[in-house]
Amino acid sequence: MLSVSLTLLATLALTLIDAFPRSSKVVYRSGGPYSVPLKHNMDCRANTKALGNQIGTRFARRAAADGPLMEVDHLFTVSVAIGTPAHEYDLVIDTTSAETWFISPTCTSTACVGRKVLEPSHSSSSENQYEDFTVHHGEGAVGHGNLFTDIVAIPGVSIENQVFGIATSLTEPFYNLKGDGVLAFPSFDTRSPSFADNAFEGGRLPLNVFSLYLPRRGDGELTLGGVNRSRFAGDLSYVSLSYPLAWQITIEDIGHRGRSLGITLEATVETTASSILLDTRATKALYRNIRGAKRYTARRWTIPCGSNPYFSITMNGIRFKIPKASINLGPVLEGSRDCVSAITSGAEEGHAILGLAFLQNFYTVFDKTTYPHRIGFATLA
C-alpha cells in the first residue's frame, strides 16, 4: 500500500469522485468534542507456535498454574448505531484501513460465522451503491462485498449517508479480527470518506482531530473533535506525517538503555496490531543488544525474563520511552526463563508498525488541522 505512487492515487481519487456523493449530512448533538468508551477486548487462545507467527498477537500468562501459555489479542471496539430503526454494532477501531465494513447474512466464510450480521433491507434508510468493495487487512486477509450507505452514529455525531461495505466473503485471517466489523478511522481515501472525515467535513467539530486512549488494561476512550485533557499529563509532542495518505511517521532512532541502535524506519500507527513490528534487519539489530535474546518463531523473539528491556523510539527529535511492562509479555511456558517480547519482525523492509504495545503508553491525537497532518503523543495521566 505504501509503495503506491502519489500520482496514481491522485488519478484514482479523481476518477472515483464522480461515482460517489461527496457531501454527507452530519447531525451533531452539540458543539463537541464527543467522547465515547472503547471496549478493550482480550481474546485468549491456546498458544501454539503457528499462532505466534501471526501479526498482532500477544501472549499472557494463563491463570491456571501449569497450563500452557495463552495468547491474547488486544482490540478496541466502539459501539456504533446503524440504520432506521437503529441497531448497535461493536466495530473495531482501525487507523489503517480505508473501509468501514460489516458482515452480510449471506457470508458463509469461517471468519463470518457466529458474528453479528447487517441485513441492509432491515433499514429503511439504507441505500445500495451497486458497487463492489474489497478490503485488505495485513497479510492474506481479504474481504469482498458490496457498498451501501446508511445512517451511522456514535453518541453525539450522526452521519446520514456514511459509505461502508457489507462483506459477503472474508478470508481466514479475518478470524482474528474480532468485532462485528471495522470502523475505519479515518481513511485518506476520497472514494469512501471515513466516519471521522465526514464528521470533520460537517464543519461543526471544535477541531478536526480524533484522540485515542488505549490503556494496557481496562477500557479506552475515543474523543472526536478534541482531546480529553484529564487522560494525559504534560504536553502533547507532535510528529508530522511523513507520507500524506496514511498515519505514517518517521522513526529516527531506536534506543536501548540510552544507547542508539541506529535504526531508521517509516512507521504506521496501527490500532489493530498488538505488537511493535520492525523489519527483519532492524529486529536483528535490536536483539543483538539484549543478552540472551533468542528467536522463538519466524517473527517472535524471547528475552530473558529477568532482563530489563528499556527501549525508546525517537521521532521528531523526541524520545518516547516504552516501559518494560509493554515489552515483556510473560514466559513462553510456565516456569520458563525465556519471556516473549512484544517487539517482533514482520514489517516490510524499511517499515515498522507501532501497535498497541506502543500506543498503550501514550494518549494519541490524530490531527488533521495542520499540513502535513500530524500525530500527537502525551504521557498518560
Q: What does 126-174 look like in DSSP terms, one character per residue?
A: -EEEEEEEEEE-STT-EEEEEEEEEEEEETTEEEEEEEEEEEEEE-GGG
Single out the residue of 183, 205, 217, 165 nearest to residue 326, CA to CA: 217
Rounded least distance, CB 317 to ligand NAG, Å: 29
Least gap, CB of 93 to ligand NAG (angstroms)? 16
Query: Candidates 228-236, 285-293, 302-310, 334-342 — which segment interacts with ligand NAG by CB under 6 A?
Result: 228-236
Which is nearer to ligand NAG, 30 or 121 (by Cβ)?
A: 30
Residue 276 near residue 344, CB atoms below 8 Å: yes
Asked if 30 is part of the footprint of ligand NAG (rule: CB under 6 A), the reply reads: no
Interaction between residue 40 and ligand NAG (CB under 6 A)? no
If one asks whether residue 35 binds ligand NAG (CB under 6 A), the answer comes out as yes
Among 231, 299, 351, 373, binds ligand NAG (CB under 6 A): 231
Q: How many CA atoms are closer than 13 Å to the CA of 133, on its beta-carbon side?
A: 26
Asked if 364 touches ligand NAG (CB under 6 A), the answer is: no
**Residue 191 Rama label (left phi>0; alpha psi -120 to 50; beta):** alpha
We find the least distance from the C-beta atom of residue 260 to ligand NAG, in angstroms, to be 35
30/230 with CB nearer ligand NAG: 230
48 CB neighbour count, 10 Å cutoff: 11
Per the CB < 8 A criterion, the answer to whether 225 and 199 are in contact is yes
Contact yes or no for 101/163 (Cβ under 8 A): no
Stretch that binds ligand NAG, among 9-17, 190-198, 223-231, 367-375 (CB under 6 A): 223-231
C-alpha distances in Å from residue 284, one per residue of 257, 267, 278, 279: 17, 17, 9, 9
- Interacting stretch for ligand NAG, rule CB under 6 A, among 58-66, 225-233, 343-351, 357-365? 225-233
Give the SS3 label for residue 379.
strand
CB of 208 within 8 A of CB of 265? no
Asked if 381 and 231 count as a contact pair (C-beta separation under 8 A), the reply is: yes
**Which stretch, 84-92, 227-235, 262-270, 276-284, contacts ligand NAG (CB under 6 A)?**
227-235
Smallest distance from the beta carbon of 224 to ligand NAG, in angstroms? 11
Residue nearest ligand NAG, CB atom distance: 35
Does 230 sit near ligand NAG (CB under 6 A)? yes
Taking the complex as a whole, the smallest distance from the CB of residue 339 to ligand NAG amounts, in Å, to 31
Cell of 135: 478490503
Choices 118-126, 226-234, 268-276, 334-342; region in contact with ligand NAG by CB under 6 A: 226-234
- The SS3 of residue 11 is helix
Which lies closer to ligand NAG via its Cβ, residue 33 or residue 120? 33
Work out how close the CB of 223 gets to ligand NAG at its nearest, in angstroms, rounded to a whole number. 7
The nearest distance, CB 226 to ligand NAG, in angstroms, is 9
Residues making contact with ligand NAG (CB under 6 A): 35, 228, 230-231
